[in-house]
Amino acid sequence: MNTSSNAMHGSPLGSQNAAPATISAARPFYWSLRRELWENRLIYKAPLAVAAFFVVSFAINILVLRYRMHGVWPDDLSILRHRMHGAWPGDLAKQRELLTIPYELSAALIMGVALIVGVFYSLDALYGERRDRSILFWKSQPVSDLTAVLSKLSIPLIVIPMLSLAITVVAQFLMLLLGSALLLGSGANIMALWTQESFVRVSIELFYHMLTVHGLWYAPLYGWLFVVSAAAPRAPFIWAVLPPFVICGVEKLAFNSTHFLAMLENRLAGPEVSAPPGSSMMETVMALTPGKFFSEPGLWIGLAIAAGFIAITVRLRRYRGPI
């Protein structure tokens, strides 16, 4: 009777004990992630600065266009082209295309800056705490080396892509508003600017690109940078670039082949996409379907290599002290 009574009361107590254990396991990761954001504000400041610069440049361009048109949208397109110094095409479809080019360019620039920030963050992620000797303090905290490394790795794989995505969407929305202001009072169809490229669809496409290419496909590159950051005695950038450079040179001299260089180029360029010639950036992104991407052998080989790099990084952090 007592046994059944204990069993009846044991299940709720067991579930209550399991929940705090899960919370306590996730809390060190959460605070480690917040610590990275506190200490590395360039993570969000750099994409914000690029987005602000691009939006301001776009606004200045709109003001110049308005000045050239004298605030009037003429009925004769030849007059408009003359005022625009030949920069405005007569085809209405090409007019809308000219207005949408800056949206794709802004997305490409912000994502490019985010990638550069992720590379330099990864090189300094573990090297910085060894250089300023703060690793002695962080190792005294109840946070495992695995949790510390995974929280740092989530910055270039998840946080930076998601932040740059949000910044890109906001910047493109502001540019759409400014583009509508250009056409306001001109007699042109402003809705065509909003419906030619669905704002929601473009955001989903950008999210998909960030998740696949910037996250999963580049994972082995970030893993290598983390190994270098944990092991380099100084100048981690040189240690990150020198070994691949030596391997490429030795392979070329010894075997007269460039397989390693081709592998690096394929990893940096992203997965192969069969898009029609002249396709826009968004069309090229969507040509990489989920079925094609997740059936790519290079993806899974890269993820396996990334897992090995992370295991090495965790071990290096456990036994490496300050510089």
Q: Assess if residue 85 is contained within a domain.
A: yes
How many angstroms from the chain centroid is the CA of residue 53? Answer: 19
Query: Locate tokens 């920069």: which residue?
Result: 87
Residue 7 lies in a domain: no
Considering the domain boundaries, does residue 48 fall inside one? yes
Report if residue 15 sits inside a domain.
Answer: no
In a structure prediction context, what are the per-residue pLDDT tens digits for the chain, which is 323 residues long?
Answer: 444 444 444 444 444 444 455 456 688 888 888 888 888 888 989 999 999 998 888 888 777 766 665 544 444 444 444 444 444 444 445 555 555 667 778 888 888 898 999 999 999 999 988 888 888 888 888 888 899 999 999 999 999 988 988 998 888 888 878 777 766 655 555 665 666 555 667 777 778 888 888 888 999 999 999 999 999 988 999 999 999 999 999 999 998 889 899 889 888 887 776 665 555 556 666 667 777 888 888 899 999 999 999 999 999 998 887 87
- Calculate helix-pair angle for 297-319, 259-269, nearest 10 degrees: 90
Q: Is 27 part of a structural domain of the chain?
A: no
Residue 8 lies in a domain: no
Specify the pLDDT at position 119. 93
Q: What pLDDT is recorded for position 75? A: 43
Taking the alpha carbons at both ends of the chain, their separation in whole angstroms is: 64
Would residue 218 count as lying in a domain?
Answer: yes
pLDDT tens for each residue of 47-92: 999 999 988 888 887 777 666 655 444 444 444 444 444 444 444 4
CB-based contacts of 119: which residues, under 8 Å, 6+ apart? 156, 221, 225
- Number of independent structural domains in the chain: 1
CA atoms within 13 A on the CB side of 92: 10
Helices then strands, counting H and E runs in the chain, come out as: 16, 0
Is position 203 within any domain?
Answer: yes
* DSSP H helical ranges for 184-280: 190-195, 199-209, 219-231, 236-255, 259-269
| Predicted local distance difference test score (pLDDT) of residue 25 | 64
Distance of alpha carbon 200 from alpha carbon 108, whole angstroms: 18
The CA distances from residue 86 to 38, 58, 187, in Å, are 49, 19, 20
**What is the C-alpha to C-alpha distance for residues 255 and 251, in angstroms, rounded to an integer?**
5
DSSP 217: I
pLDDT confidence of residue 284: 65
> 146-150: which pairs have CB atoms within 8 A and are 24 or more residues apart?
146/314, 147/28, 147/29, 147/32, 148/32, 148/317, 149/226, 149/310, 149/313, 149/314, 149/317, 150/29, 150/310
Structural domain that includes position 107: 32-319
The predicted-structure confidence for 29-50, as pLDDT tens digits, reads as follows: 888 888 888 888 889 899 999 9
Within 13 Å, how many C-alpha atoms sit on residue 217's CB side? Answer: 25
Cβ(144)–Cβ(316) below 8 Å: no
